């Protein structure tokens, strides 16, 4: 049957060859377009509509591995009614499905298989918020690259990642899936993911899907799927940049989001899907809906029924329908009625076929279905080492009183306590793919591996993550009393963040804080290891624990990574990609806020503040300590006046003044002092992660160009305005030195 397919492809190629030979120097893109047109010309309207239909394999949304294709699916594939599956995985199973498409459907158009590979397929890497805390796009690119290898080897062509939604509200559980609150950091992370997944599109790469377009993270109250409503300016300057960065990095697909913005649901927004994405950004790939987001136009009150929803979405520029079945059921009728033009369908089909050609699926539809390769490439040592490396780099040291960390190697007895101490399920985090707890090292195992018998390890669970049971406290206290130091592993479970996982409090759940209070009474030092998918308001720990290491959900290698970092084999250098509030009542709190006409002043009643809280967050954006210390000096500008054709070099000296070698993320922020519209108090415009040996000093340079100073001005043009600017450089968004320059006409 494969032969038939090859005959078909050669017909396409033969029919093209005349065309190509008369047209010298065709680019790859032009050749693909010609091939796409050639296939399109053979398609019936039904077959075209079939390409726009994506179904999830099996029941619900979870990944399915099967080897026999059920008849109901066979029939649909055979009739050309399915263009793509999500959640069908495995080299063998995807081969079986592909075989039906290629051997039994009239036009033999290959299927494209998608899956949520968010932070790993089988080997899990830290959740994306943790990856962002590395402040190392190159590390994130490497992580995505390894994740792609595993997924591609299991038949997957396409991941629904990266999620690049800016999140200023940590109640929103999906903050875990993205890069946090900042458009600059978020844009770099978006591009890094896209490069890592897609590479040069060989059969070990997968195509990326930048999501959720657009503004999904702006849900009111942090409640998932909720209404989003912000000004066009905030939308363009804060929320849109990471999507654009993903497109500019070459992402081949985008996913339209569930939410509405200002009354228009994204999945029916011509403004988003056509005007911005295609007209302004020149995006050439295709857009898939979110799960039934076309159908949800009805409940939004934007479409009267599923047919109307399909009409709106297709006409708005949404190419592929994930799971609502609106297109497959109604598009033909809509064409007959003149409500949808067949040429609009053609455009969407073209975009999808183009990606199928780019993936090489018309040349070898089974390129991703090699069983042997699958066995060889999954959970290799290289991938596990990469996961370990990313995990270590994602950790953020929040507190280290009297340099209690790194742990001394001569502790005789170490107590490992808490519901996350010997827990191999939760470190996988939400959207864990095929991550299996059997492959995860727990903190307890990580410590045992590390000390290898040289210290005694005492373990007690103490309590569960989220109930009121204190019956385990006694054992925990007993073990703590017998030990020299307590490693207290607390936080959230993996299902507390991710889709629809919204919390109304940011405190530690259950009785975990009570457990910590009991342990404090033992007088033994407490090193708190946090696992969580969002910023938490851990005030008590901040005041009472001797040290705190934020480890997010670190993935397969969590326990080993945590032990290595706590013992100082790796000096932590992660920085927070999102502000940690003191209490949920402070939300939204983010570093790049406006000054207001009455900036908060505790001594002045009529200013912008809470009566019962300090002005500051618990930990600011960009915050993170090291086992060593860094001194900043000699902040300088190459000039203090520039025109729009010049650039300015900002330089600063950073010295390692502590006892260990270590890395520091040197951060540069800018404030535009006066504008035609008000400007944020600070905006991240650059950072560099440098390694310094003990006593070593380096000069770090940043260059600012006029284009870095642009924003959506009063006339809605994206431009800079002449005037004074402050430049801040430092170790986080608060502890900075500043200088000033002027942009002149
Ligand atoms: C819904 C989620 O919002 C989206 O992120 C995901 O990719 C799809 N479901 C498919 O699982």
Kindly report, residue by residue over 59-103, the tens digit of the pLDDT. 444 566 777 788 889 999 999 999 999 999 999 999 999 999 999
Assign 203 a pLDDT band (cuts: 50, 70, 90).
confident
Section 186-203 average pLDDT:
96
Ligand 1 near 211 CB (within 6 A)? yes
Q: Whose CA is nearest to atom 10 of ligand 1?
A: 291
How many helical (H) and strand (E) elements, i.e. helices and strands, does the chain have? Answer: 22, 26
224, 290, 672, 708: which one is catalytic? 290
Q: Which atom of ligand 1 is nearest to the CA of 216?
A: 3
pLDDT score recorded for residue 26: 82
Q: Is the CB of 323 under 6 A from ligand 1?
A: no
The span from the CA of 508 to the CA of 519, in Å, is 16
By alpha-carbon position, which residue is closest to atom 9 of ligand 1?
291
Residue 109 confidence (pLDDT) above 90: yes
- What is the mean pLDDT of the segment spanning 704-717? 98
Instruction: Look at domain 380-586 and name its CATH class.
Output: alpha beta
Using 50, 70 and 90 to split pLDDT, how confident is the model at 698?
very high
pLDDT tens-digit map of 407-434 = 998 999 999 999 999 999 999 999 999 9
CB distance 116 to ligand 1 below 6 Å: yes
pLDDT grade, residue 224 (50/70/90)? Answer: very high
State the distance from the centre of ligand 1 to the C-alpha of 338, rounded, in angstroms.
Answer: 32
Q: How many angstroms separate the alpha carbon of residue 632 from the centre of ligand 1?
A: 44
Mean per-residue pLDDT, 48-57: 96
**Closest to 566 (Cα-Cα) out of 554, 549, 553:** 549
Structure confidence at residue 25 (pLDDT): 76
> Ligand 1 within 6 A of 169 CB?
no
46 as an active site residue: the answer is no
What's the 164 CA to ligand 1 centre distance in angstroms? 13
Q: What is the distance between the alpha carbons of residues 295 and 194, in angstroms, rounded to a whole number? A: 28
Residue 221 region by backbone torsions, left for phi larger than 0, else alpha for psi between -120 and 50, else beta: left
Q: Are 113 and 156 in contact (CB under 8 A)?
A: yes
Q: How far is the C-alpha of 316 from the C-alpha of 321, rounded, in Å?
A: 13
pLDDT score at 632:
98
Contact 699, 653 (CB under 8 A): yes
**Listed residue (256, 257, 265) closest to 286, CA to CA:** 256
**What pLDDT score does 385 carry?**
98
The share of the chain scoring above pLDDT 70, in percent, equals 96
Residue 367 clears pLDDT 80, i.e. is over it: yes
Retrieve residue 672's tokens.
Answer: 């535009």
DSSP track, 135-159: --HHHHHHHHHHHHHHHHHTT--EE
All CATH 2.60.40.10 domain ranges in the chain, comma separated: 630-743
What are the phi and psi torsion angles at 168 (to 5°)?
A: -105, 5
Alpha carbon distance 479, 462 (integer Å): 10
- Who contacts 131 (Cβ-Cβ below 8 Å, separation ≥6)? 119, 125, 139, 140, 143, 179, 189, 390, 394
Binned at pLDDT 50, 70 and 90, residue 58 comes out as low
Mutate to test the pocket of ligand 1, among 56, 89, 160, 162 (most ligand atoms within 8 A of CB): 160
Q: Does residue 290 line the site of ligand 1, with CB under 6 A?
A: yes
pLDDT score of 421: 98
Cis peptide before 330 (omega within 30 of 0): no
Q: Give the pLDDT confidence of 513-528 residue by residue, as tens digits.
A: 999 999 999 999 999 9
Any atom of ligand 1 within 6 Å of the Cβ of 291? yes
CA 212 to ligand 1: nearest atom: 5
CATH 3.40.50.1700-classified regions of the chain: 380-586
Q: Kindly indicate whether the domain formed by 630-743 is annotated with CATH number 2.60.40.10.
A: yes
Atom 1 of ligand 1 has which residue's CA nearest to it? Answer: 291
Average pLDDT, the chain: 95
Question: Is the dihedral angle over the CA atoms 659, 665, 666, 672 positive or is it negative?
Answer: negative
Query: How far is the centre of ligand 1, averaged over its atoms, from the C-alpha of 62 (Å)?
Result: 11
- 450-484 tens-digit pLDDT: 999 999 999 999 999 999 999 999 999 999 999 99
Of ligand 1's atoms, which has the minimum distance to the CA of residue 258? Answer: 3
Overall average pLDDT of the 634-643 stretch: 97
Say how far apart CA 619 and CA 234 lie, in whole Å: 24
Q: What are the residues facing 114 on neighbouring strands?
A: 86, 158
- Could you tell me the distance, in angstroms and rounded to a whole number, from the CA of residue 557 to the centre of ligand 1? 26
The average pLDDT across 234-258 equals 98
The pLDDT value recorded for residue 67 is 72
Burial label, 38 (beta-carbon count in 10 A; 0-12, 13-18, 19+)? middle
């Amino acid at each position: 049957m494969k032969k038939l397919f090859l005959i078909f492809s050669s017909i396409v190629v033969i029919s093209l060859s005349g065309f190509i030979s008369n047209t010298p120097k065709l680019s790859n893109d032009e050749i693909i377009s010609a091939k796409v047109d050639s296939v399109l010309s053979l398609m019936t309207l039904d077959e075209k509509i079939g390409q726009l239909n994506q179904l999830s394999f099996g029941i619900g949304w979870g990944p399915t591995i099967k080897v026999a294709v059920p008849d109901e699916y066979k029939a649909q594939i055979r009739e050309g009614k399915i263009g793509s599956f999500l959640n069908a995985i495995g080299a063998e199973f995807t081969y079986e499905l592909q075989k039906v498409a290629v051997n039994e459907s009239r036009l033999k158009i290959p299927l494209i298989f998608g899956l949520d590979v968010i932070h790993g397929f089988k080997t899990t890497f830290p959740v994306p918020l943790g990856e962002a805390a590395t402040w190392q796009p190159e590390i994130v690119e490497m992580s995505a690259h390894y994740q792609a290898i595993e997924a591609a080897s299991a038949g997957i062509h396409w991941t629904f990642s990266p999620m690049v939604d800016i999140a200023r509200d940590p109640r929103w559980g999906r903050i875990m899936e993205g890069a946090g609150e900042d458009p600059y950091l978020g844009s770099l992370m978006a591009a890094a993911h896209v490069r890592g997944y897609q590479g040069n599109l060989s059969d070990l790469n997968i195509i990326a899907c930048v999501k959720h377009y657009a503004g999904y993270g702006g849900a009111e109250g942090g409640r998932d799927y909720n209404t989003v409503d912000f000004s066009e300016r905030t939308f363009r300057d804060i929320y849109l940049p990471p999507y654009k960065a993903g497109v500019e990095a070459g992402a081949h697909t985008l996913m339209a989001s569930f939410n509405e913005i200002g009354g228009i649901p994204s999945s029916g927004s011509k403004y988003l899907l056509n005007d911005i994405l295609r007209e302004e950004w020149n995006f050439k790939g295709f857009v898939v809906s979110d799960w039934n987001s076309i159908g949800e136009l009805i409940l939004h009150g934007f479409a009267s029924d599923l047919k109307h929803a399909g009409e709106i979405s297709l006409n708005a520029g949404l190419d592929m329908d994930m799971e609502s079945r609106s297109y497959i059921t109604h598009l033909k009728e809509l064409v007959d009625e003149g409500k949808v033009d067949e040429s609009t369908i053609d455009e969407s089909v073209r975009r999808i076929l183009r990606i199928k050609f780019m993936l090489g699926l018309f040349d070898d539809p089974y390129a991703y279905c090699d069983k042997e390769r699958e066995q060889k490439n999954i959970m290799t040592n290289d991938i596990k080492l990469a996961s370990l490396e990313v995990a270590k780099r994602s950790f953020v040291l929040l507190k280290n009183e009297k340099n209690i960390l790194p742990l001394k190697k001569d502790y005789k007895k170490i107590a490992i306590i808490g519901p996350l101490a010997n827990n191999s399920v939760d470190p996988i985090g939400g959207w864990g793919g095929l991550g299996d707890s059997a492959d995860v090292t727990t903190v307890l195992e990580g410590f045992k591996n590390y000390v290898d018998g040289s210290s005694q390890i005492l373990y007690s669970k103490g309590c569960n993550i989220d109930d009121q049971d204190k019956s385990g406290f006694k054992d925990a206290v007993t073990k703590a009393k017998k030990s020299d130091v307590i490693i207290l592993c607390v936080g959230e479970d993996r299902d507390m963040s991710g889709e629809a996982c919204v919390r109304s409090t940011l405190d530690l759940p259950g009785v975990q804080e009570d457990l910590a209070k009991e342990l404090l009474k033992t007088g033994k030092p407490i090193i708190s290891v946090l696992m969580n998918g969002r910023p938490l308001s851990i005030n008590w720990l901040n005041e009472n624990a001797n040290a705190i290491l934020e480890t997010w959900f670190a993935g397969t290698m969590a326990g080993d990574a945590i032990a290595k970092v706590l013992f100082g084999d790796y000096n932590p250098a992660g920085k927070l990609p999102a502000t940690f509030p003191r209490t949920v009542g402070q939300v939204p709190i983010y570093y790049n806020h406006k000054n207001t006409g009455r900036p908060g002043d505790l001594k002045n009643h009529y200013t912008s503040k809470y009566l019962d809280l300090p002005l500051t967050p618990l930990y600011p954006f960009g915050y993170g300590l090291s086992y060593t210390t860094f001194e900043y000096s000699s902040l300088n500008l190459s000039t203090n006046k520039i025109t729009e054709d010049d650039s300015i070099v900002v330089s600063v000296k950073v010295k390692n003044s502590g006892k260990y070698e270590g890395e520091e993320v040197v951060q540069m922020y800018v404030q535009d002092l006066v504008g035609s519209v008000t400007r944020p108090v600070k905006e991240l415009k650059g950072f560099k992660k440098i390694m310094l040996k003990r006593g070593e000093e380096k000069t770090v340079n940043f260059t600012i160009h006029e284009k870095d100073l642009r924003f959506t001005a009063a006339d809605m043009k994206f431009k800079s305005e002449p005037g004074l600017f402050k430049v801040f450089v430092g170790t986080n968004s608060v502890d900075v030195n500043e200088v000033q320059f002027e942009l002149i006409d």
